[in-house]
């Protein structure tokens, strides 16, 4: 049995060797001339081979563009080469750029500041705002038909009146007049008696004091007394910031009626986290942005200055206040909350670009570079801190690069349309 198995194995080995020899002989007898007559003509490819030379010509690419005799090919192979070399460029001609308001900036290293971003509030400056209070008790009536917030007023102008004529206690002006008349007669009588030593000097002094007090009270209310009651005027020129009472409302003496502000100077209060306490001594200026205006205001352009910063925090407040004062040149509303960029120590040779140049896509940041007059390229960058107007670029840009600063969105749309594939036709 063992000899039979060995015999079969030897027979299979002999058959396999004969088959391999036959395939080799068939390839040796392969005639390229006959294949040429059958339609496999290498001369049409524009190249020939020596005997035994291996062909490296790519026939698959030519097969894709096989044409009948006399047929012309509309396929532009030169365009394919250009597209391969400039496939990442975005075409945007000068006419399109002008209509889209496209602007570019040339990257130049410059001075940039340490930035602490926080929030805060716009407040009225001290001495630039007054609160008008009631000088007597009574019913309020407005002297102007439209006494509302924002109304411009002049210093000394009467704004409202307080009348007590229909009150149980009576009109304070009438009471003051009666008190003054009685005190005046008592004082005249005392003067006639003191000369003859008919009254004590102590009694005379008390009568005189009562007379003086009654005179002051009467003169104070008489100067402001009108047919409508006691008039209330504003001491400064400005506009009404807040109106705290309504027509016909009863008020007490000393109650706040309204606030008038000149709005010439304002304060910027920044609330800074305690972890930046060691950096507060380096703060020199600030930028801020309001929620109702896209403009980034720079205190340096508003004659702003650092007034003070807190040295501790309270139990209710976990932030340290930093206060600035500036001229209200722009349309800034007192009391509004703002985004604040505190500027600290300066740093030289920092590459920064306008914030409007930056585009964010899925957590990555890009800018668009102008590589030619009508061509742009998308460039990934690594941003750093921002001062509201400009942003530091840590990597991705170099000196001399031209970056799109305005109209970035239009370039992005052009990039999206250029990435749509087009069909290839002959």
Residue whose C-alpha is closest to residue 128's, from 340, 290, 304, 325: 325
pTM for the full predicted model = 0.59
Report pLDDT for 195: 79
Q: What are 44's two structure tokens?
A: 């049409």
CB 259 within 8 A of CB 241: yes
Estimate the crossing angle of helix 172-194 against helix 201-222, to 10 degrees.
150
Tens place of pLDDT per residue across the chain (426 aa): 556 677 676 667 666 655 544 444 444 444 444 443 444 444 444 444 444 444 444 444 443 444 444 444 444 444 344 333 455 788 878 888 888 888 899 999 999 999 999 999 999 887 788 899 998 888 898 988 788 888 888 988 889 888 877 776 667 777 788 898 999 999 998 988 887 788 888 898 999 999 999 988 888 777 677 777 788 889 888 888 888 999 889 898 899 999 898 878 899 999 999 889 888 889 999 999 998 888 899 998 999 999 998 877 666 677 899 999 998 876 788 888 999 999 999 999 999 999 999 998 888 999 999 988 888 899 999 999 999 999 999 999 999 999 999 888 888 887 776 554 443 444
- Report pLDDT for 169: 67
Give the number of other CB atoms < 10 A from CB of residue 356: 16
* C-beta of residue 352 within 8 angstroms of C-beta of residue 111: no
Where exactly are the structural domains of the chain? 89-109+351-418, 113-126+265-348, 130-261
Topology match between the domains 113-126+265-348 and 130-261: no
Kindly report the backbone phi and psi dihedral angles of residue 334, in degrees, each rounded to the nearest multiple of 5, phi listed first: -65, 135
Residues in the chain: 426
Six-digit token pair at 197?
């030593």
* 113-126+265-348 is classed CATH 3.40.50.620: no
Report the distance separating Cα 2 and Cα 22, nearest Å.
32
Place of tokens 């149980």: 168
392 close to 383: Cβ distance less than 8 angstroms: yes
pLDDT at position 309, please?
Answer: 86
Contact yes or no for 315/244 (Cβ under 8 A):
no
Measured CA to CA, the distance from residue 144 to residue 157 in angstroms comes to 10
Query: Minimal CA–CA distance to 108: which of 413, 345, 348?
Result: 348
Q: Residue 164 half-sphere exposure, CB side, CA atoms within 13 Å? A: 21
The two structure tokens encoding residue 204: 């005379």
User: What is the CATH architecture assignment of 89-109+351-418?
Assistant: Beta Barrel (2.40)
What is the rounded distance in angstroms from the CA atom of residue 103 to the CA atom of residue 402? 10
Q: Which CATH architecture has domain 130-261?
A: Beta Barrel (2.40)
């Amino acid at each position: 049995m063992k000899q039979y198995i060995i015999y079969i194995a030897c027979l299979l080995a002999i058959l396999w060797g004969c088959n391999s020899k036959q395939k080799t002989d068939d390839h040796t007898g392969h005639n390229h001339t006959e294949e040429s007559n059958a339609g496999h003509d290498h001369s049409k490819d524009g190249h020939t081979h020596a005997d035994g030379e291996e062909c490296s010509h790519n026939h698959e690419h030519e097969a894709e563009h096989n044409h009948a005799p006399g047929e012309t090919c509309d396929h532009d192979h030169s365009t394919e080469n250009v597209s391969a070399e400039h496939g990442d460029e975005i075409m945007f001609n000068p006419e399109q750029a002008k209509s889209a308001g496209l602007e570019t900036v040339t990257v130049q290293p410059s001075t940039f500041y340490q930035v602490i971003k926080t929030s805060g509030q716009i407040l009225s400056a001290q001495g630039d705002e007054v609160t008008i209070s009631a000088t007597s008790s009574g019913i309020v009536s407005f002297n102007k038909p439209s006494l509302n917030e924002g109304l411009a007023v002049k210093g000394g102008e009467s704004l409202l009146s307080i009348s007590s004529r229909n009150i149980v206690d009576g009109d304070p002006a009438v009471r003051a007049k009666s008190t003054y008349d009685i005190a005046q007669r008592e004082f005249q009588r005392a003067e006639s008696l003191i000369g003859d030593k008919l009254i004590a000097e102590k009694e005379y002094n008390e009568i005189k004091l009562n007379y003086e007090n009654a005179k002051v009270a009467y003169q104070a209310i008489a100067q402001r007394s009108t047919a409508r009651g006691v008039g209330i005027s504003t001491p400064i020129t400005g506009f009404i910031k807040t109106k705290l009472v309504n027509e016909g409302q009863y008020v007490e003496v000393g109650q706040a009626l309204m606030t008038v502000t000149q709005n010439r100077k304002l304060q910027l209060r920044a609330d800074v986290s305690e972890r930046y306490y060691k950096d507060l001594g380096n703060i020199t200026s600030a930028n801020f942005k309001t929620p109702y205006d896209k403009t980034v205001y720079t205190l340096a352009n508003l004659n702003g200055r650092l007034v003070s910063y807190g040295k501790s925090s309270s139990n209710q407040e976990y932030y340290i206040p930093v206060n600035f004062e500036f001229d209200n040149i722009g349309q800034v509303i007192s009391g509004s909350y703002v985004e604040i960029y505190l500027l600290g120590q300066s740093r030289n040779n920092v590459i920064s670009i306008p914030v409007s140049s930056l585009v964010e896509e899925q957590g990555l940041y890009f800018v668009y570079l102008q590589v030619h007059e009508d061509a742009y390229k998308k460039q990934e960058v690594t941003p750093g801190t921002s001062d509201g107007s400009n942003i530091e670029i840590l990597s991705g840009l170099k000196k001399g690069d031209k970056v799109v600063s305005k109209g970035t969105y239009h370039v992005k749309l052009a990039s999206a349309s250029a990435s749509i594939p087009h069909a290839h036709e002959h």
